[in-house]
Amino acid sequence: MNVEVTGVQFNEIQAEVLIVGTYKHPENTTNWSEFVSFYGSSLEKWLKAGDVSTDRKKLTKLPTLKEGKLQRVFFVGLGNRKTLTQDELRDIFGTVGKELVASKTTNVSIWLDSFTNEEIEIEDATYLAAEGIGLGLYQVQNYKTSSNTTDYYLDLVELVTNSDEQEILSYFEIGQVYSEAVNEARTLVNMPPNVLTATKMAEYAKELAETYDFEYEELGKAEMEELGMGAILAVNQGSTEEPKLMVLKYRANDEWNDVVGLVGKGITYDTGGYSIKTKEGMVGMKGDMGGAAAVLGAMRIIGETRPNKNVIAVIASTDNMISGNAFKPDDVITSYSGKTIEILNTDAEGRLVLADSVSYAKQQGANYIVDIATLTGGVIVALGKDKTGALSNDDAFFELFKEATAETGEFVWRMPLTESDKKRIRKSDVADLNNSPGRDGHMIFGGGFVGEFVENTPWIHLDIAGTSDASAAYDLGPKGGTGAMVRSLATLVERMSLEDSEE
Ligand code: BES
Ligand code: ZN
Ligand code: ZN
């Protein structure tokens, strides 16, 4: 995609479609008079009559009736100028992206200044345009032999503004980096489980590492056996696919003593094992690697933006299957940390693979840990499909993450993890821990179990079982994988790097 910046001179516009934001009282829109003088006075009439809507998220398409390249204007309703927020503007740009796909528009001009207000500066509007439109453009790949989705591709984006060209371009590029990383994560989540095996995911991770010059290490079954990673191995026991533990290290500096660990659950398919899921509950479990996808997406952003913070990504991947070899309830296993675990439910497998991954991240030097997983149905019961549930053992660390999510507009809600919850996780007649203390509040037990392996390291647990895939299309994308928390994880690392440089 070609991105260019042009001044506010309509006769120079190279694209066929111009996108213009329109506030409720259009004269409140920045540079509105210039626009009207270009477009013609009839516009005011149409606005008065409601033929061009200024309602938030309403899109009106009109022809220009002028000679030249520009054929049509898409008026994007912004509502009241005083109340438009950055999150809403991102969503609005998402709907614009979708409209570009629907109308197969391959070249577009965006009149950037029209999207600004007192809270949204031109830099913000530029960034949000790139991010929102980039997310809105995403289409789910399918395997239909007679697909009616052509290979749509946006060739040209022309940014119309009088602001500094280089600065505008750099903001737009960051927005592109963020949206592309989310879209990559979405694609991983949407891939069928027979296509995206642990081995395939490891190939993907390795390629990512090569692209961005990360150190890369991969543990297979033999290495896991050698290291005694009994928890991942137990989950993999029923499978014919080899398990993989992927480790990516981004070195911001020569010292490896201040490291944030991003740990993702990469279950490529979750049947539940012998604690088998219902046939309805199983469909969709190809997405049980959403945490891994989020970590890989965040690493892509980190590779592009290169923050001043060491990062280790650890992703454990396997499917959770049934066979004569599969692990079963009543088994007692020994994790990499040495802690023993009584298996009460083979469907509580995510916490098991995370346990070994977190221990490995710590062993490799992580002194901050964020784990992310499609861990429990409980989080959906508690918070719905649009909120990520969290646990943390460190208020300041969580606060920093909250700030990151305020910037990205991804909703996160912290749940309590009490001593009595921990007691229930530690209750077993035969082992140190049990993997399923009960269904009451089980989002907390899932994350709390991972916390047993994190111990005193500052830690945030993110349960994206609800947010990792959308059951219906939404402003920023289609039904399916959402790439939840990709942007927030990368923004957290960015903020940690800024904090370090302030010290
Ligand atoms: N992968 C599931 C969680 C899940 C459920 C993700 C729905 C996405 C949508 C996880 O491994 C699981 O099965 N969790 C169990 C835990 C229970 C056995 C304690 C659950 O949520 O029922
Ligand atoms: Zn499960
Ligand atoms: Zn699972």
Ligand 1 mean position to 199 CA, how many Å?
23
Q: How many residues does the chain have?
A: 503
Q: Is the pLDDT of residue 34 over 90?
A: no
pLDDT mean over 1-28: 90
Q: Could you read off the pLDDT of 61-96 as tens digits, one per residue?
A: 999 877 888 999 999 999 999 999 999 999 999 999
Q: Could you read off the pLDDT of 410-444 as tens digits, one per residue?
A: 999 999 999 999 999 999 999 999 999 999 999 99
Q: Is the pLDDT of residue 11 over 80?
A: no
* Ligand 1 nearest atom to the CA of residue 270, by list position: 1
- Would you say 325 and 420 are in contact if contact means Cβ atoms under 8 Å apart? no
The ligand 1 site (C-beta within 6 Å) comprises 270, 272, 288, 345, 347-350, 374-378, 436, 442, 465
DSSP SS3 for 2: strand
**From atom 5 of ligand 1, which residue's Cα is the shortest distance away?**
377
Please state, in angstroms and rounded to a whole number, the distance separating the CA atoms of residues 486 and 491.
9
Q: Could you read off the pLDDT of 94-136 as tens digits, one per residue?
A: 999 999 999 999 999 999 999 999 999 999 999 999 999 999 9
Mutate to test the pocket of ligand 1, among 376, 425, 462 (most ligand atoms within 8 A of CB): 376
Q: How confident is the model at residue 147 (pLDDT cuts 50, 70, 90)?
A: confident
**From atom 13 of ligand 1, which residue's Cα is the shortest distance away?**
347
CA distances to 178, 431, 484 from 292, in Å? 17, 29, 11
Lowest-confidence segment of 158-167, 236-245, 322-331, 494-503 by average pLDDT: 494-503
- Would you say 259 and 367 are in contact if contact means Cβ atoms under 8 Å apart? yes
**From atom 8 of ligand 1, which residue's Cα is the shortest distance away?**
465
Rounded CA Rg of the chain = 24
Structural domains of the chain, with CATH: 2-163 (3.40.220.10), 184-502 (3.40.630.10)
Residues 97, 293, 490: CA angle, nearest 5 degrees: 75
Please state, in angstroms and rounded to a whole number, the distance separating the CA atoms of residues 410 and 72.
33
AA identity, residue 203: E
Full-model pTM: 0.98
Ligand 2 mean position to 470 CA, how many Å?
19
From 286, 300, 351, 402, active-site residue: 351
What lies within 8 Å, CB to CB, of 172 at 6+ separation is 3, 126, 127, 129, 130, 157, 159
Neighbour-count burial of 151, counting CB atoms closer than 10 A to its CB (0-12 exposed, 13-18 middle, 19+ buried): exposed
Q: Which ligand is nearest to the CA of 343?
A: 1
AA identity, residue 217: E
Residue 66: predicted pLDDT: 79
CA distances to 204, 277, 365 from 210, in Å? 10, 38, 22
* Ligand 1 nearest atom to the CA of residue 272, by list position: 13
CB-proximal residues (5 Å) to ion ligand 3 = 267, 270, 288, 350
Q: Which ligand is nearest to the CA of 273?
A: 2
Please state, in angstroms and rounded to a whole number, the distance separating the CA atoms of residues 116 and 22.
10
**From atom 16 of ligand 1, which residue's Cα is the shortest distance away?**
348
Residue 8: predicted pLDDT: 81
Residues 136, 178, 283: CA angle, nearest 5 degrees: 60
Ligand 2 mean position to 482 CA, how many Å?
20
Mutate to test the pocket of ligand 1, among 347, 354, 371 (most ligand atoms within 8 A of CB): 347
Q: Could you read off the pLDDT of 230-253 as tens digits, one per residue?
A: 999 999 999 999 999 999 999 999
Q: Which ligand is nearest to the CA of 449?
A: 1
Ligand 2 mean position to 266 CA, how many Å?
12
* Ligand 1 nearest atom to the CA of residue 377, by list position: 21
- Would you say 331 and 274 are in contact if contact means Cβ atoms under 8 Å apart? no
**From atom 22 of ligand 1, which residue's Cα is the shortest distance away?**
377
**From atom 7 of ligand 1, which residue's Cα is the shortest distance away?**
377
Q: Could you read off the pLDDT of 338-382 as tens digits, one per residue?
A: 999 999 999 999 999 999 999 999 999 999 999 999 999 999 999
pLDDT mean over 26-44: 85
Ligand 1 mean position to 445 CA, how many Å?
12
The two structure tokens encoding residue 130: 């790139």
Residue 13: predicted pLDDT: 87
Q: How confident is the model at residue 153 (pLDDT cuts 50, 70, 90)?
A: confident
Ligand 2 mean position to 347 CA, how many Å?
3
Q: Is 351 a catalytic residue?
A: yes
Q: Which ligand is nearest to the CA of 266?
A: 3
Ligand 3 mean position to 343 CA, how many Å?
15
Residue 180: predicted pLDDT: 98
* Ligand 1 nearest atom to the CA of residue 435, by list position: 19
Ligand 2 mean position to 292 CA, how many Å?
15
Residue 149: predicted pLDDT: 63
From 58, 69, 277, 385, active-site residue: 277
CB-proximal residues (5 Å) to ion ligand 2 = 270, 347, 349
Q: Could you read off the pLDDT of 371-389 as tens digits, one per residue?
A: 999 999 999 999 999 999 9
* Ligand 1 nearest atom to the CA of residue 350, by list position: 11
**From atom 3 of ligand 1, which residue's Cα is the shortest distance away?**
376
More confident residue, 415 or 36: 415
Residue 405: predicted pLDDT: 98
Q: Which ligand is nearest to the CA of 434?
A: 1
pLDDT mean over 222-226: 98
Residue 150: predicted pLDDT: 60
Question: 188-206: buried (b, 16+ CB within 10 Å) or exposed (e) per residue?
Answer: bbbbebeebbbbbbbebbb
Residue 148: predicted pLDDT: 62
- Would you say 89 and 132 are in contact if contact means Cβ atoms under 8 Å apart? yes
More confident residue, 206 or 144: 206
- Would you say 351 and 328 are in contact if contact means Cβ atoms under 8 Å apart? no
Q: Which stretches of 329-482 are DSSP H helices?
A: 350-363, 378-383, 395-408, 419-425, 442-454
Q: Could you read off the pLDDT of 449-471 as tens digits, one per residue?
A: 999 999 999 999 999 999 999 99
How does the average pLDDT of the chain come out, rounded?
96
Q: Is the pLDDT of residue 227 over 80?
A: yes
